[in-house]
Amino acid sequence: MHRIENVLVVWLDGSIDPVCGDCQETITQLRHIVNNIHTYTDSDQCVDFIQTVTDNKICVIISGALGQHVVPCVHGMSQVDSIFIFCSNQKWHEQWAKSWRKIKGVYTQLPVMCEAIKYAVKQCEQSTISLSFIPKDIGDVSTITIDRLDPSFLYTQILKEILLSINFEEKHVKKFANYCRDIFGDNPHELDNIAKLEQKYFDNTPIWWYTYDCFLYPMLNRILRLMDVDIIFHTSFFIVDLHRDIQRLHLKQYFGHDYNKTFMVYRGQGMSKKDFEQISNTKDGLMSFNNFLFTNKNPQVCLRFADEATKNPDLVPVLFVMTIDPTQSTVPFASISETSFHRTKDEVLFSIRSVFRINDIKPMNENNLIHEIHLTLIGDNDKDLRALNNRIREETFPEEEGWYRLGVVLIKMGQYDKAEGFYEFLLGQTTHENDKAFIYHELGRIKYNLKDYQKALINYEKSLEIKQKNLPPNHADFANLYNNIGLVYKHEGNYSEALSSHKKAVEIQKLALSSQHLDLSTSYSNIGNVYDSMGNYLKALSYHEKALKIRQKALPPNHPTLAYSYNNMGLTYDNMGYYSQALSSHEKALAIRQEALPPNHPDLASSYNNIGNAYDNLGDHAKALKAYEKSLELIQESLPPNHPDLGRSYYNIGLVYQNMGNFLKAYAFYDRAVEIGQESLPPEHPHLQLYKKNFENMKQKFH
């Protein structure tokens, strides 16, 4: 079942019968509130399912007969938002239910329980809005690299820029309606809403539709929180329409006699403990709401949401107190009390990615249950935000058009599965040969990063074939393609073909670019790596030095690309047996990465690993061990628990302990390396064979 909402309902009752009329009626009523309903008659199966849910909140309905047994099992799970006891003996079950804060009530009547669930779902949607934090001490934002930023902060800016550049038509409403029918095909209530939207979309404003009791509000909340590219593609027309509707009202309401008047709005919700810790550490920094944002001018209305959050031990209840100066905002906002479906008094709706300065965080009263967070809305007049937005544009391929830009950014951020699905979807939509060539090239890059070299080469060759039919032979586009083909050949061990491809790239670049262009440095670096793999270390070093000289002239001294040059030179020195020079190069790479990258970036782990290798080769096993342990710590923080690099890290530490004569510890680390290698590498992989060989050698020392 496709989940397009933040909340799902799990109903556990030993007497549920799918063909029973009462059960069917209960499910029908529940599906007026949420689309995803999961029913269970077995307690263990129910608990097992709840444990698998990671990106949804769950409202759990439990029969009185099973409640006392199951509630202790699920109450502590953070994905469980609220619990409802549905029974025939209200007074008896209320006695034990008082002990559990997530139990919202004990109910004997379905309509009353449904109203309570409806309120809980609304509260849940309020608390699952996507937030991003930019610390004040992040450094010089004019030179920051995008991998130091929260992905949601980045994606919402790019998404907004992309969507506002596209012209949408009436046909997009019909396509969206058909898409939604596939999702809600077995939900008659939402199918009626879809038909209504398709037939009467232009009879009401986008704000009216967003606040109407249907799937649109929770759908947009979820896709903007998770950046679900497939659904965003289909809902994009509505995101733009809603933004422009808010913008229209904003111009009408604030370009008049009250235009310069500062005012306050409020928002009550529960924050995850992780988000609250982040915002507490980001005082005087920036905070972004990455969804459309509901606020209210009446603090008492918002306090109800904060009060409700006090009942959930997984959340920190907060009241946002927001100072709004209409002259300073670049994100539109508007009072919607006259245009929304509910006509809620004093409600103000902000468009996506409203950014605030965090002024203060303090408890509202002595019991510390609710915290006030004081914010001030900012716009491009704020120098930090302006520099940050400009930097994001520079780093996110502004020359790419429309949706293609988002795909390129997804690859850069390492979101390969999302990027692959996105490009395959685009491939099915386009008939233009140039677009197909671009998409095949990007699919090749994705497969390369996923280490599927055979499919990477197939996609690159498809792109090359199209380009050869449509472009002159020395067109600059070929250089990048030949370089990428060369990288694939190198990883397959076909060094002669790799060298040939990279040299073709250089020939084209010398004709099309200046001798100091950064693209040439990439080709020189690639050639250096191939020569290194071939054992021709002097040639490898000469090409790495060529690449470094170009990069030193073109880039600031702390740019992470310089670290790659020093890293490559260090590896070549290591292969030549020049361990002191290798250590010096790797330490230069580490210094740059420490300044330019987030503190848990995988490239830092790589640098510490290389420094450990150099120290080990120099015979300084104590320093080698310290570097390897730091590398292991970073890998554990930044990569999945069965990543091949983790196995390599355990192996290296085992090797140092073996060299130090501590065979017991060496045995333990080799054992762990083998275990991870068996999970992450093919059986014949040389690294796994090496781990097993050393493990068996250690084992023999104890027999």
327-384: per-residue pLDDT in tens?
Answer: 888 899 999 999 999 988 999 999 999 999 999 999 998 777 899 999 999 987 888 8
Q: In the predicted model, what is the mean pLDDT of residues 110-137?
A: 93
Query: What would the pLDDT profile of 449-459 be if each residue is shown by its tens digit?
Result: 888 999 999 99
* Tokens of residue 375, six digits: 């914010």
Distances (CA, A) of 535 to 200, 489, 572, 579: 70, 16, 9, 16
Q: Which residues contact 144 (CB under 8 A, 6 or more apart)?
A: 138, 388, 391
DSSP labels for 253-297? HHSSTTTT--EEEEEEEEEEHHHHHHHHTTTTSEEEE-S-EEEES
What does pLDDT average to over the chain?
A: 92
pLDDT at 602 (0 to 100): 83
Q: Is the pLDDT of residue 414 over 80?
A: no
Q: Residue 588: pLDDT above 80?
A: yes
Query: What pLDDT score was predicted for residue 303?
Result: 95
User: Residues with Cβ < 8 Å from 352, sequence gap 6 or more?
Assistant: 156, 159, 160, 224, 239, 243, 290, 291, 292, 331
pLDDT at 348: 97
Share of the chain above pLDDT 70, in %: 97
Distance CA 534, CA 494 (A): 10
Q: Does the structure show a pLDDT above 90 at 241?
A: yes
Q: Would you state the pLDDT for residue 392?
A: 83
Q: How far is CA 8 from CA 56, 126, 293, 507, in A?
A: 7, 15, 22, 58
Flag whether pLDDT at 132 surpasses 80. Answer: yes
Domain extent listing, the chain: 7-127, 131-136+259-395, 149-254, 472-539
The correct CATH number of 472-539 out of 3.40.50, 1.10.260, 1.10.340, 1.25.40 is: 1.25.40
Cα separations in angstroms, 611 against 185, 569, 607, 647 = 57, 13, 6, 18
Measured from the Cβ of residue 635, the count of other Cβ atoms closer than 10 Å reads 25
CA–CA separation, 496 and 543 (whole Å)? 16
- Sheet of 37-40, strand order: 37-40, 7-12, 57-63, 80-86, 103-107
* Furthest C-alpha separation in the chain: 90
State the pLDDT at residue 469.
Answer: 94
Q: What does the pLDDT look like over 244-258, one tens digit per residue?
A: 999 999 999 987 655
Q: Are 530 and 495 in contact (CB under 8 A)?
A: yes
Q: What's the pLDDT at 144?
A: 64
For residue 148, pLDDT over 90 is answered with no
Q: Residue 638 and residue 426: Cα distance in Å, rounded?
A: 31
Same fold, 131-136+259-395 and 472-539: no
State the pLDDT confidence band at 696, using cuts at 50, 70 and 90: very high
Mean pLDDT value across residues 599-613: 91
Q: What is the pLDDT at residue 407?
A: 85
CATH fold of 131-136+259-395 reads Toxin ADP-ribosyltransferase; Chain A, domain 1 (3.90.176)
The least confident of 82-86, 502-506, 509-513 is 509-513
Residue 181 has pLDDT above 80, yes or no: yes
Kindly state the average pLDDT of the residues 432-458. Answer: 93
Confidence of residue 141 (pLDDT cuts 50, 70, 90): low
Torsion angle of alpha carbons 562, 564, 570, 576, nearest 10°? -120
Residues contacting residue 148 through CB under 8 Å, at least 6 positions apart: 138, 596, 597, 598
Q: With helix as H, strand as E and coil as C, how does 519-555 read?
A: HHHHHHHHHHHHHHHHCCHHHHHHHHHHHHHHHHHHC
Contact present, 221 and 128 (Cβ < 8 Å): yes
Helices 416-429, 402-412: inter-axial angle, 10-degree rounding: 160
pLDDT at 703: 64
Q: 442: pLDDT confidence band, cut at 50, 70 and 90?
A: very high
Render pLDDT for 523-534 as a digit per residue (tens, 0 to 9): 999 999 999 999
Q: Sorting pLDDT into bands at 50, 70 and 90, what band is 139?
A: low
Q: Tell me if 440 sits within 8 A of 463, measured CB to CB.
A: yes
pLDDT given at position 145: 64
Question: Which residue from 205, 202, 197, 208 is spatially nearest to 340, judged by alpha carbons?
Answer: 208
Whether 500 has a pLDDT exceeding 70, the answer reads yes
Q: Are 672 and 679 in contact (CB under 8 A)?
A: no
398 φ, ψ (degrees, to nearest 5):
-65, -20
Instruction: Read off the tokens for 244.
Output: 């422009």
Which of 522 and 258 is assigned the larger pLDDT?
Answer: 522
Tell the CATH topology of 7-127.
Rossmann fold (3.40.50)
